[in-house]
Amino acid sequence: MNVTRVLIVVLISCCLCLSVMAADPSDQFNAAGALYSKSVDLANAGNYSGALELSDQALAMNVTSLIPLIQANRAGVLVMLGRFTEANAAADGALGAEENLTTVRSVAWFNKGNALRSLGRLEEAKTAYAKAYALDKSLVPPDLSQSTIIPTTPAKSSLVWITAPIAITLVTLFVGLRYRKK
């Protein structure tokens, strides 16, 4: 009788483990994409802490095709929260991706420029802004000729979020390409 119980427990455990391991990768991709999209919505509404939390949750899902996109926009959220060193690191994470994602790279370079400018590293900021502008002419660099423009608190400009519709389009494109391959 005890052997039967043990076998039933082992069988149930195996079924549970197999169902978890057999989860469709597209479900994880969609879940991470949904978290990312919600984070963009929260950022657009000015809830940067909530946006950062959802971005971090999406990153924790480790969907490699979405990591550069999430990191590029996460850098903008961190700038808005005044966490400039972390923003710079997030932008570097997006720029380190091997994929050729022009829009993601342009947003990452621009957000890196914002972080560097806020850190007082103007020459590096100019380079980052120039790289963003070279990739996307709508990302016009700010005038860095006066040192008084460096904010000591997070900027309230919505310029960073002009690119949010582009980012949402990229998520939609990734999802479409993913299903198209099947």
Q: What is the DSSP string of 91-118?
A: HHHHHT--S--HHHHHHHHHHHHHHHHH
Q: What is the mean pLDDT of residues 159-176?
A: 51
Q: H helices within the chain, ranges in order?
A: 2-21, 25-44, 48-60, 67-80, 84-95, 102-118, 122-135, 164-180
Say if residue 33's pLDDT is above 70: yes
Return the number of other C-beta atoms located less than 10 Å from residue 42's C-beta: 19
pLDDT in tens, 2-31: 545 543 544 454 444 444 444 556 889 999
Amino acid identity for residue 94 in this structure: A
Phi/psi of residue 109, nearest 5 degrees: -60, -40
Q: pTM of the full predicted structure?
A: 0.69
Structural domains of the chain, ranges and CATH numbers in brackets: 25-180 (1.25.40.10)
Q: Looking at this protein, which amino acid is placed at residue 175? A: V
Answer positive or negative: Cα dihedral of 61, 62, 66, 68: positive
Q: What is the pLDDT of residues 79-112, one digit of tens each?
A: 999 999 999 999 999 999 887 688 899 999 999 9
31 near 175, Cβ under 8 Å?
Answer: no
pLDDT at 98: 82
CA distance 60 to 66: 11
* Banded pLDDT at 53 (limits 50, 70, 90): very high
pLDDT at 169: 52
Whether 69 and 43 have beta carbons less than 8 Å apart is answered as no
- Do residues 81 and 103 make contact, with C-beta atoms less than 8 angstroms apart? no
Residue with tokens 């490699």, as numbered in its chain: 64
What is the C-alpha separation between 95 and 75, in angstroms, rounded?
11
